[in-house]
Amino acid sequence: MLLGNGLLVFALTATVLANVLFTVSRRKGGERLRPWAGRSVVAGALGIVAASVWLMTLIANHRFDIHYVAEYTSKASATRYLVAAFWGGQEGSILLWAFWTAVLGWVLSRKSGDRTAWVWPVFGVVQAYLLGLLLLKSPFRPVDGPIPLDGKGLNPLLQNPWMVIHPPILFLGFASTAVPAAWTVHALLHKDWDGWVKSAFPWTLFSFATLGFGLSLGGYWAYETLGWGGFWAWDPVENTSLVPWLFLTAMLHGFAVQRRNGGFRIGNLLIGALPFAAMNYGTFLTRTGVLSDFSVHSFSSLGPDAYKVMLGATLLVALAPLVLLVLRWKGIPRDKAIPAPVSREAGFVAAALLLALMGLGVTLGMSAPLITKLWMPKGAALQADYYNQIGYPLGLVMAVLMSLTPYLAWKTGDAGDALKRLWPPYIAAILCTIAMTGFAWKLGIRKPWMVLLFATSMFTTLANAWLVAPRLKSSGGRRTLGGFVAHMGAGMTLAGVAVLVAFSTQHEAVPLVKGETKEVAGTKLTYLGSTSHPFERDNALRIKVESGGLAWEANPRYYFANWEGKDTLFANPPAIHRQWYGDTYLALGGEQEEIMDDPDRASTPNNQFSLRRGETKIFGDYSFTLEDVGFDDAAREAFKKGRSEFEKLVEFQIKAVATVRYRDTEKVVVPAIRIVPKTGEYSIVAEIPGPDGNRTILRFVPPPTPRQIEEVEGMWQQAVAEAKTKGQPGTPAFQQALMPSVSLKQRLDQMQGLTTYQTLRFETYNAPDEQEVVFVDLSTKPFIWLVWLGTLLYTLGGLVAYRRRATEASEPATAKA
Amino acid sequence: MKVKAGPIAGLVVIAASLAFGGAAFVRNLTPYLPFAEARAATGTVQVMGALDKTSVQLVEGGLRFTLIEKGTGARMPVVFGHTKPANFMMAIEITAIGRYEGDAFHADKLLVKCPSKYQGTETKSYGR
């Protein structure tokens, strides 16, 4: 606590000091303070890096006296998930943001030459803000109350290799948006009308590439592990990264124009701080819980203090540059951006405009719940279709622009010449489209709008590829490839989306009976069983898939994680079968059966039954006898000593001793429930005899929690109250009204009986069961690799352009380029 | 006055985009409505209620269940043409997004709010 917060305070002090020293050093004779300001920057950065290392150390050493460590890690966490836990929670992810900010700020102080003293203080304000936020909601604060022996662990959904790589890259992109914003504010404050563009250009490209790559990694992660079949859902959390990326992309085009002819100054100053502002706004929306009724992602609030600080910062970041721009309006020199209606400049300006419009449109959409609260009491959400409807026409126009603009010369474009040179890609794109349309026709799909999008975006890809090819030969050519490669990628991603929308098929909740083959849209599925059992992390269903002359075994994962005291089914990774023409995507169709539903039902996929002590039940080839039930030794001792002694136990077990007979074999097994009063109840399953090659297990099901009972009781009381409005208790009207809810009362009695351990509930997994059913979702994703390859290409293009612009920025200032 | 053509064209494009975007915005708004109003509403709306756990039926291609409105106690049968969400039975509140047709509310999407021991509640969405 002390060391961590101490480091944060130290970093904050150094940051403020750097700001003051830089500002003073700008006065006459103040130059000698510059080295000291530089050292303060390094000290501040080191403070943040040290705080990050310290948090990592606390996590690695299981220091559960620290709230953050207890909340997001446990002793059982694998090493890589200890790393992921660093950013698995709110406070840690803000520290990650601060970490990258510190690193970037240090580089910025090194790379900005004489103007460091002007630009760094702007950046320093951002760094100070993040440090302030961290001190307000510190990752180093101790736990309230007694120190737990073990932590809660990272949410199983986040225990995923992607979680190790995706957030650092995304947050690097997030943090880097502050640099162009700092340059913008600097330009406005100090009337640096052209120099800032040259300096901010490589930073903006860096931001574009990292944020874009972070976005595509997030999409790929969702596709590969969450099992809902998509990679993009227009959710606020996704939009929080998308909007800054759109603004950054718009900015790149504006920058290129200003670097060329000095035009578009006001446009660039207007948009320069927008990526950072949008990122802050999105962070505010998603981290403060204002959208929690409207989004897929779960948010926990950072608390009212952080809420106010974030709201203030968001408003400041969004409004301050605008106010400055208005104040400086008259003094900004204006040069003509578009020399001729048909010119590369015109295409670039149009691109900047359209991309910014898309960014604003998405911002409007994600703000809908807030905006509509002005006139609707509960607010209203927007359907995701809104984004598709505004995105489609913009995407189409941009695809056309991306094909034509690269063929136009700067200053005066010759449309005739461009069209002449565009023939080969145009013909090739048409051939691709004819092939696609023919394919669609054969499958009976009629989506002309998607065919149009496919045609134009294919044209984009090919037109840019035509320009890339000859440039690969010389090093000078390779230097200027970035834009073309990025546009190839953008076209490819759009084409991929068009194909997916047109051709994807999806069949949800398909029931598969074990051993029987079911045909779904030409694909034959046979459920064979499980690789192990659902309480083992790598358990997967074994489903034989036969499609188009190919056969394979798909293994969608099926695993119950111990989470918050319950055995919980989280989104399980699907089985993806990849071919050049697309993926076959097989995912678990939601929850298989409800354990709570009916304790005595001996049905699929598990036998569920309850036993009293000494009782025997027979299911098919199995018979189960409950011999005894009791505590583990330590708990029994403690129980004898008295209630207070028992309550001191950190954990205890309730063991059931059961005899299982399967055909000629007999085995005594001891399934148990491990109860950890602080965190919950976990099953310890027992292996029972079964047919060869099948791990069959018996699980002792924990009794319902008081909360679950309360809930059913509440529903019953409500049903009674409702029935009373129909008639007096005892009257036929009352009886009739209550009839549909009688099962509630039965369940309530049953649950109350279960809590006293007079009856124990069990269930089996993988026991031979002819009737066993699983539900799966089957979908096809034709040519989805186009989307992935496209995102890689625009990232690569961004990096190539970054190299070029970084070289330019480090060259001494010359006359206008 | 040829010089002014550019800005004017720009303004026209912006105005057209705003009109287009605004129309898309209004068209896609899904207001939260009480059950009684949702039955009469045209277009997509959202309703919120507690799950009647005895009503859940798994059917091929999806599930059927009934929501109970807070306060009025009114009941709304819901048909959901997608896979049953994980932790569905633990839901304390469900928001269904869709429209009332025939004798039931046809939901395209569900937001399921579950009790979460440590972070208050947790909302997840299902369907498209």
pLDDT tens, residue by residue, A234-293: 888 889 999 999 999 999 999 999 999 999 999 999 999 999 999 999 988 887 767 655
Give tens-digit pLDDT for A705-750.
666 677 778 777 877 887 888 788 878 888 777 776 776 777 777 6
Q: What is the mean pLDDT of residues A619-631?
A: 83
Q: Give the gap in angstroms from C-alpha B40 to the nearest C-alpha of chain A.
A: 18
**Backbone φ and ψ of A292, nearest 5°:** -60, -20
Q: Give the gap in angstroms from C-alpha B102 to the nearest C-alpha of chain A.
A: 22
| Burial environment of residue A814 by CB neighbours within 10 A (0 to 12, 13 to 18, 19 or more) | exposed
Q: A298 pLDDT band (50/70/90 cuts)?
A: very low
Subunit contact B119:A298, Cβ cutoff 8 A: yes
Q: What is the mean pLDDT of residues A292-303?
A: 56
The H or E element spanning position A678 is: none
Task: Show the DSSP H helices in A61-177 as ranges.
Answer: 67-72, 79-85, 90-111, 116-136, 161-176
Closest to A212 measured CA to CA, from A161, A249, A184, A183: A249
Predicted confidence at residue A600, as pLDDT, reads 33
Question: What separation in angstroms does the CA of A206 have from each of A158, A252, B25?
Answer: 27, 11, 33
Going A805 to A808 to A810 to A813, the CA torsion angle's sign is negative
The one-letter amino acid code at A613 reads: R
- B64 close contact with A: CB closer than 8 A: no
| Burial environment of residue A614 by CB neighbours within 10 A (0 to 12, 13 to 18, 19 or more) | exposed
Instruction: Tell how strand B104-116 and strand B75-80 pair up.
Output: parallel
pLDDT beyond 60 at A229: yes
Nearest residue of B to residue A598 by CA position?
B54
- B97 close contact with A: CB closer than 8 A: yes
Nearest residue of B to residue A718 by CA position?
B73
Which residues fall within 8 angstroms of residue A641, CB to CB, at 6 or more apart?
Answer: none
Q: What is the pTM of this model?
A: 0.84
Predicted confidence at residue A177, as pLDDT, reads 97
Q: B128 pLDDT band (50/70/90 cuts)?
A: very low
Subunit contact B60:A509, Cβ cutoff 8 A: yes
Q: Give the gap in angstroms from C-alpha B80 to the nearest C-alpha of chain A.
A: 11
What's the residue count for chain B? 128
Q: What is the mean pLDDT of residues A537-542?
A: 86
Closest to A392 measured CA to CA, from A352, A448, A343: A448
User: Which of A440-449, A465-474, A503-512 shows the lowest mean pLDDT across its residues?
Assistant: A440-449
Q: What is the mean pLDDT of residues A798-810?
A: 92
Question: What separation in angstroms does the CA of A720 have from each of A158, A712, A725, B35, B51?
Answer: 43, 12, 9, 21, 17
More confident residue, A638 or A326: A326
d(CA B125, CA A369): 16
Structure tokens at B74: 């009114």
Long-range CB contacts for residues A193-196, cutoff 8 Å, separation at least 24: A193/A265, A193/A332, A193/A333, A194/A258, A194/A262, A194/A265, A194/A816, A195/A115, A195/A813, A196/A119, A196/A272
Nearest residue of A to residue B110 by CA position?
A296
The strand ranges marked E within A395-440 are: none
Question: What separation in angstroms does the CA of A505 have from each of A33, A231, A466, A500, A501?
Answer: 66, 15, 33, 9, 9
DSSP, collapsed to helix, strand or coil, labels residue A697 as strand
Residues of A in contact with B61 (CB under 8 A): 507-510
- A516 close contact with B: CB closer than 8 A: no
Predicted confidence at residue A678, as pLDDT, reads 66
- Cα dihedral B13→B15→B19→B20 (10° resolution): 10
- Tokens 């970035």 — which residue? A482
Q: A98 pLDDT band (50/70/90 cuts)?
A: very high
Q: Give the gap in angstroms from C-alpha A292 to the nearest C-alpha of chain B.
A: 7
Q: What is the mean pLDDT of residues A382-396?
A: 90
Residues of A in contact with B81 (CB under 8 A): 508
Give tens-digit pLDDT for A155-195.
777 777 888 899 999 999 999 999 999 999 999 999 999 99
Q: What is the mean pLDDT of residues B56-76?
A: 81
What's the residue count for chain A? 817
Percent of chain A with pLDDT over 70: 91
- Tokens 């045209």 — which residue? B42
Q: Give the gap in angstroms from C-alpha B62 to the nearest C-alpha of chain A.
A: 6
Pair A251, A216: CB distance under 8 Å: no
Predicted confidence at residue A605, as pLDDT, reads 41
Closest to A73 measured CA to CA, from A59, A61, A94: A59
- Cα dihedral A592→A598→A602→A603 (10° resolution): -30
Give tens-digit pLDDT for A756-785.
666 777 777 777 666 677 888 899 999 999
- Tokens 């085995």 — which residue? A667
Percent of chain A with pLDDT over 90: 44
Cβ contacts below 8 Å, chain A against chain B, sum to: 141
Give tens-digit pLDDT for A322-341.
999 999 999 999 888 888 88
Nearest residue of A to residue B17 by CA position?
A357
Could you please report the per-residue DSSP string of A486-554? HHHHHHHHHHHHHHHHHH-EEEEEEEEEBT-EEEETTEEEEEEEESS-TTSTT-BEEEEEEETTEEEEE
Subunit contact A383:B28, Cβ cutoff 8 A: yes
Omega into A605 within 30° of 0, i.e. cis?
yes
Predicted confidence at residue A49, as pLDDT, reads 97
More confident residue, A8 or B55: A8
Q: How would you classify residue A548: left for phi > 0, otherwise alpha for psi between -120 and 50, otherwise beta? A: left
Give tens-digit pLDDT for A63-77.
999 999 988 888 877
- Neighbouring CB atoms inside 10 A of A809's CB total 19
Q: What is the ipTM of this complex?
A: 0.72
Q: A565 pLDDT band (50/70/90 cuts)?
A: low
- Cα dihedral A657→A661→A666→A671 (10° resolution): -30
Could you please report the per-residue DSSP string of A721-738? HHHHHHS-TTSHHHHHHH
pLDDT beyond 50 at B57: yes
Q: A88 pLDDT band (50/70/90 cuts)?
A: confident
Give tens-digit pLDDT for A135-161.
998 999 998 877 877 787 887 777 778
- A389 close contact with B: CB closer than 8 A: yes
- A292 close contact with B: CB closer than 8 A: yes
Structure tokens at A584: 């076959």
- CA geometry: angle at A281 spanning A276 and A283, to 5°? 95
Which residues fall within 8 angstroms of residue B2, CB to CB, at 6 or more apart?
Answer: none
Structure tokens at A74: 């446990």
Pair A686, A671: CB distance under 8 Å: yes
pLDDT beyond 90 at B58: no
d(CA A218, CA A226): 11
Q: B interface mutation test: which of A715, A720, A779 has the most B CBs within 10 A? A: A715
Subunit contact A570:B86, Cβ cutoff 8 A: yes
More confident residue, A23 or A643: A23
More confident residue, A558 or A98: A98
Mean pLDDT, rounded, of chain A: 85
Pair A376, B32: CB distance under 8 Å: yes
